[in-house]
Chains A and B, each alone.
Chain A
Amino acid sequence: DGGITQSPKYLFRKEGQNVTLSCEQNLNHDAMYWYRQDPGQGLRLIYYSQIVNDFQKGDIAEGYSVSREKKESFPLTVTSAQKNPTAFYLCASSQDTPGTEAFFGQGTRLTVV
């Protein structure tokens, strides 16, 4: 089955540690996205990538980094510079064509203690 796989589903880290969230898709989509979800805030865009080896900052990129070395993979690193990293993180992908919908993974809940 085609889809987007995020792992792990739950992640706990100590304050000050970097952590990497995995996102893999087998939909052959060009574009991939990372959103952060907090209660009452909706989805806020962290980073997105249209093609391999290229990515753009979204609205809340500070404290995060990404890479896009393969079309299928778009990992997100939450660095120690992110002041409030505890949140639900959603990865999505789409064809890079105007108007096409995004397909979402099941999310990773990150808790920093």
Chain B
Amino acid sequence: AQSVTQPDIHITVSEGASLELRCNYSYGATPYLFWYVQSPGQGLQLLLKYFSGDTLVQGIKGFEAEFKRSQSSFNLRKPSVHWSDAAEYFCAVGVRQAGTALIFGKGTTLSVSS
């Protein structure tokens, strides 16, 4: 069965510093991969997604993610973090089959210090 691991429960980054959030997946083939962001008490907003092709994916709010098949990873990056980026971030996996739901990691909480 497929699974998603986000190794970091909580990360604190200084404003203006770079950010990398880790995501590893377990799946027999290349999955569809997603990063979502959630502000407290809110729903989830899609940041970016990978289906195929270029392994470096650009998203909204200046985020990007790189798919590395050899490492089964899909890490999220941002060159310069803003205080408004403080939120919870979820990595999700979708399989190449209709009638299935996304599987989510447990999330990483990002705090931004001034």
Contacts and interface: CB of A to CB of B under 8 A. Distances in A.
Interface in B87-110: 90, 94-107
Nearest to A46: B101
A4 B43 CA distance: 10
Contacts of B101: 31, 33, 45, 48, 58, 102
Best-buried of B90, B100, B105 by chain A (most CB within 10 Å): B100
Interface residues of A, number: 31
B97 A106 contact: no
Contacts of A58: 101
Contact of A104 (B44, B94, B98, B100): B44
A101 B46 contact: yes
Contacts of B53: none
A2 interface: no
Contacts of B49: 99, 101
Contacts of A109: 41
A107 interface: yes
A99 B94 contact: yes
Contact of B99 (A6, A50, A107): A50
Contact of B96 (A4, A33, A99, A102): A99
Nearest to A50: B99
Given A40-B106, A41-B106, A107-B43, A97 B98 contact: yes
B96 A98 contact: yes
Contacts of A33: 101-102
Interface of B: 6, 9, 32, 34, 36, 41-46, 49, 51, 90, 94-107
